[in-house]
């Protein structure tokens, strides 16, 4: 069972916390994480690209020139895909790119991502954020105290408007609830900062 240091807002070590092996010391499956990230990115695609087929292009009703005797290739319409201003062969049409993977695969990928963060020393646990009111300066100070100078994701147990409003204006910083944690965001941010309650919530949901 891995043990990590527990910090307060001032960046001081105030104890330690044991993490569940099943979630934070799982076998790291890079191929599974890759599959889940691709699924998430595909689901974000708008799928609105559209090109006109031959029957949708306006004009081209009259044969441009006679069939024989011109020395040119036969042509029945100026809206052929071969002509400038014509239609598009096998062009894109609006579609839904999203697809789903089995729940077991997504859970395995999430555990792999969390385990990779712990292995690389990019997972930090704090006792709490304790923000009485929205204040960006407080979160900036927290990151400085924890010596986090890269992109970071703050994870809280539940909805915390003060943390959300205090971190949304900081470039490269995002806050998220433990129930909404996902593989793409874990891998996107350099550091994962969790409250002690958020760790307990993750273990409660995914064990």
Expressed as residue numbers, the domain containing 27 is 3-45+98-206
pLDDT over 90 (residue 187): yes
In this structure, the answer to whether residues 113 and 176 fall within a common structural domain is: yes
In this structure, the answer to whether residues 165 and 85 fall within a common structural domain is: no
Q: What is the pTM of this model?
A: 0.81
Question: Residue 178 and residue 188: Cα distance in Å, rounded?
Answer: 16
Here the tokens at position 13 are 């070590």
In this structure, the answer to whether residues 72 and 159 fall within a common structural domain is: no
For the stretch 123-152, pLDDT in tens is 999 988 888 888 898 889 888 888 888 899
In this structure, the answer to whether residues 19 and 56 fall within a common structural domain is: no
Question: Residue 198 and residue 101: Cα distance in Å, rounded?
Answer: 25
In this structure, the answer to whether residues 80 and 141 fall within a common structural domain is: no
- Report the relative pairing of strands 173-177 and 152-156 from DSSP bridges: parallel
- Residues 149-162: b if buried by 16+ CB within 10 A, e if exposed: eeebbbbbbeebeb
Q: How many domains does the chain have?
A: 2
Burial degree of 53 (CB within 10 A; 0-12, 13-18, 19+): middle
For the stretch 3-56, pLDDT in tens is 888 888 888 888 888 899 899 988 999 999 999 999 999 999 999 999 999 889
Average pLDDT, integer, range 167-174: 90
In this structure, the answer to whether residues 70 and 165 fall within a common structural domain is: no
In this structure, the answer to whether residues 163 and 74 fall within a common structural domain is: no
In this structure, the answer to whether residues 115 and 20 fall within a common structural domain is: yes
Here the tokens at position 47 are 């799928």
pLDDT over 80 (residue 93): yes
pLDDT over 80 (residue 185): yes
């Amino acid at each position: 069972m891995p043990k990590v240091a527990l910090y307060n807002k001032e960046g001081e070590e105030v104890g330690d916390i044991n993490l569940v092996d099943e979630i934070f010391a799982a076998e790291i499956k890079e191929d599974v994480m890759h599959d889940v990230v691709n699924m998430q990115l595909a689901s974000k695609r708008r799928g609105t690209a559209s090109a006109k087929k031959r029957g949708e292009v306006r004009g081209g009703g009259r044969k441009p020139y006679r069939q024989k005797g011109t020395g040119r290739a036969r042509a029945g319409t100026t809206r052929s895909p071969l002509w400038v201003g014509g239609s598009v062969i096998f062009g894109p049409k609006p579609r839904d790119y999203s697809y789903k993977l089995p729940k077991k695969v997504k859970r395995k990928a999430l555990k792999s991502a969390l385990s990779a963060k712990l292995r690389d020393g990019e997972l930090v646990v704090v006792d709490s954020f304790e923000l009485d009111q929205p204040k960006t300066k407080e979160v900036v100070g927290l990151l400085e105290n924890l010596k986090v100078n890269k992109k970071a994701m703050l994870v809280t147990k539940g909805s915390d408007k003060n943390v959300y409003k205090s971190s949304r204006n900081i470039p490269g910083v995002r806050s998220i609830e433990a129930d909404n944690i996902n593989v793409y965001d874990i891998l996107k941010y350099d550091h994962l900062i969790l409250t002690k309650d958020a760790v307990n919530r993750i273990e409660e949901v995914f064990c």
